[in-house]
Structure 1
Amino acid sequence: MKIAVTGGNGLVGNALVKALRAKRFDVIECNRQNCDITKADQVKKSIKGANIVVHCAATLDEHAADLFDVNVKGTENVLEAASENGVKQFIFLSSVAVFGKTSGLKNEETKPNPETRYERSKWEAEQKVLSYQEIFPVTIFRPAIIIGKTDYWNKIVKLIRKDFPLIGDGSNHWQLVSLENVVNAILFSVNNENCFEETFMLCDDEAMTLKELAEFIRTESGMNRPLKTVPLFLGKIIAFVNSYLKIVPLLDSAYLKRMIRDRYYSNKKIKSLGFEFKVSTKESLRRLMN
């Protein structure tokens, strides 16, 4: 069986390619060097001969000029190439970002409510994927923020270790998902008819709050000073100003909106099929910091 993976340079795509090859699958790695997903001809050429397509490629940058070109039009190009190729399954890596500012426990039945540019791009991409489910079986995953060795996480850990104050009281959930659990969920779904025409939430079993997350990283880093906080209204002003001055990494108005989201999810659906989230959030965070 030949499996094409887009986003082979990315966090999930790179780990997935390695895992598939370890299981002796024939893998087509589509990455930035050999496949620009905004170019339909390149995509068709790259995935030729694939039986299954796993679409991981995306841009996360809220301010990227090509955000919708990559996340929406790019997804459409991959879908069209998969259709012409007669694939047997299309697996799409979406995001819990589609829920936007919806609070409370969210599952697959919760209505999406995207607000920021990135959130809207992932929701629109999902709609593109669903429009092809009459042509081939589709499986959609909505992972929480993925724990992995990325520039994003490096910046978060550095800010916490530099004693940067928490904006707001940190009582909002920040439920995460370990990279290994995401990769294993995708492997679980490959050619699994129980996963056809389904959407699954991917999140670790622990549901830490943002404050608990910050305190855990501080404790693991040997910091024993009390965690500082600033009121949310002041944080919004700081984020707005920093959008222009760019003194503090990550902190701008769009990111602050995502940071204060109530990230609380249910993973019961995929677990009901027998899948297990074997790696804990704390274990993944410890690996990240070491």
Structure 2
Amino acid sequence: MSKTLILGGSGFVGSYLIKELGVNSLQNFDKNPSPFFNKHTIIGDIRNVEDLASLDSDFDTVVLLAAEHRDDVSPVSVYYDVNVQGTKNVLDFMDKCGIKRLIFTSSVAVYGLNKDNPAEDHPEDPFNHYGKSKWRAEQVIKKWYDDNPEGKSVTIIRPTVIFGERNRGNVYNLLKQIASGRFLMIGSGQNKKSMAYVGNVVSFIKQCLDTKASGYNVYNYVDKPDLNMTELVSLIEAKLNIDIPKQRIPYALGMLGGYFFDLMAFISSKKLSINSVRVKKFCATTQFDSSKVHSVFRAPFSLKQGLERTLEYEFTKQKDDEILFFSE
């Protein structure tokens, strides 16, 4: 029976992936305990070669989820220590163990900002340290593959922002603000946002594991069709049976308010939930082409279903526990 090593499986995506795969033929390796699968978790850090060396060698596939991805990491060298050097350490471990199959989660952040619906062949132009470190990690993996491609299989998955039950990231913050009823649209509301439901992302990873594709493959992952902000608000209104104020704040006025909060944050030395960067991101169109992945994969949930499942769990369902995953 094939055995899979999941690196970074204690987090949001990893926890859903282990649930999807089952625990019988896998091992989780993470610097943090797993809230659900701790009996199948070994504590370690991909930055530490000794931690990796302590693992068994009887794996045929590595799924590398481990990454430093928050917006506020300091010093910025941590992005490169984890995302680049950590990847090099994993590839060295794979070579020593004779493991030739790798699934790596990268990010659409490698394309940079304000690109026109980039597909996988779009030039990479990352703008922040997370995106730059992910692109450098991809380059390290490509060189590892090209140096000796015989028998190797590499799948690079570049997801857009991933949301779902238990996640506390930017999508949840937006849903919470809209669901509160104290939401005012900034701008026209016609800007579209690419999103990915966690249940679909892990289902695609499982398909990659099951099909054992050969060669070097890169996929954007986005659930389609993209919703614009007005459509997203309407979906939330219908699901939660609430009425959202229909007033809209002009973009220029919204940015002025963002700059005001920037000043308040500077004066108070406190990190505020509203700032000019978040206003700009909210009003921007962020779309990515995912026709390639959906030509080979049928998502089990539509984007609407993923949003409705998340809304029901977060805002209407009684919770059995308080396990949450925090991300940007």
TM-score relative to the length of structure 1: 0.87
Partner residue of 2:44 out of 35, 39, 47: 35
Alignment of 1:1-290 (within 5 A): 1-21=2-22, 24=24, 26-33=25-32, 34-46=43-55, 48-65=57-74, 66-134=78-146, 135=148, 136-149=152-165, 150-152=167-169, 153-162=171-180, 163-190=182-209, 192=211, 194=213, 196-224=215-243, 225-226=245-246, 228-232=248-252, 233-234=255-256, 236-238=258-260, 240-241=262-263, 244=266, 246=270, 248-249=272-273, 251-252=274-275, 255=278, 258-273=281-296, 275-290=297-312
Q: Secondary structure at the match of 1:140?
A: strand
C-alpha distance in 2 between matches for 1:112 and 1:247 = 31
2:256 alignment partner AA: L
2:11 alignment partner AA: G
Displacement of 1:253 in angstroms is: 5.5
C-alpha distance in 2 between matches for 1:126 and 1:259 = 28
C-alpha distance in 2 between matches for 1:44 and 1:260 = 47
C-alpha distance in 1 between matches for 2:276 and 2:214 = 37
1:119 alignment partner AA: G
1:263 alignment partner AA: T
Displacement of 1:227 in angstroms is: 5.2
Q: Provide the identity percentage.
A: 27
Displacement of 1:52 in angstroms is: 0.4
1:59 alignment partner AA: E
Displacement of 1:261 in angstroms is: 4.6
Change in Cα spacing, 1:254 to 1:231, as seen in structure 2 (3 Å) is: closer
Change in Cα spacing, 1:267 to 1:223, as seen in structure 2 (3 Å) is: same
C-alpha distance in 1 between matches for 2:263 and 2:220 = 35
Verify the 8 A CA contact 1:5 1:28 in the aligned structure 2: yes
Q: Secondary structure at the match of 2:19?
A: helix
Change in Cα spacing, 1:46 to 1:151, as seen in structure 2 (3 Å) is: farther
| Number of matched pairs | 286
Verify the 8 A CA contact 1:174 1:213 in the aligned structure 2: no
Q: Secondary structure at the match of 2:28?
A: strand
Write the deviation string for residues 185-236 of structure 1: whole angstroms up to 9, x where unpaired.
1111126354630101111121112343244334433332215435253255
Change in Cα spacing, 1:164 to 1:52, as seen in structure 2 (3 Å) is: same
Name whichever of 209-218 and 130-139 sits farther off: 209-218
Change in Cα spacing, 1:106 to 1:247, as seen in structure 2 (3 Å) is: same
Change in Cα spacing, 1:87 to 1:229, as seen in structure 2 (3 Å) is: farther
Displacement of 1:287 in angstroms is: 1.1
C-alpha distance in 2 between matches for 1:243 and 1:121 = 28
Verify the 8 A CA contact 2:187 2:248 in the aligned structure 1: no
C-alpha distance in 2 between matches for 1:198 and 1:54 = 14
TM-score relative to the length of structure 2: 0.78
2:107 alignment partner AA: S
Verify the 8 A CA contact 1:173 1:262 in the aligned structure 2: yes
Structure with the greater alpha carbon radius of gyration = 2
Q: Secondary structure at the match of 2:162?
A: strand
C-alpha distance in 2 between matches for 1:235 and 1:44 = 52
Verify the 8 A CA contact 2:9 2:28 in the aligned structure 1: yes
C-alpha distance in 2 between matches for 1:229 and 1:59 = 35
Verify the 8 A CA contact 1:139 1:198 in the aligned structure 2: yes
Question: What is the RMSD of the two structures over their aligned residues, measured on CA atoms?
Answer: 2.5
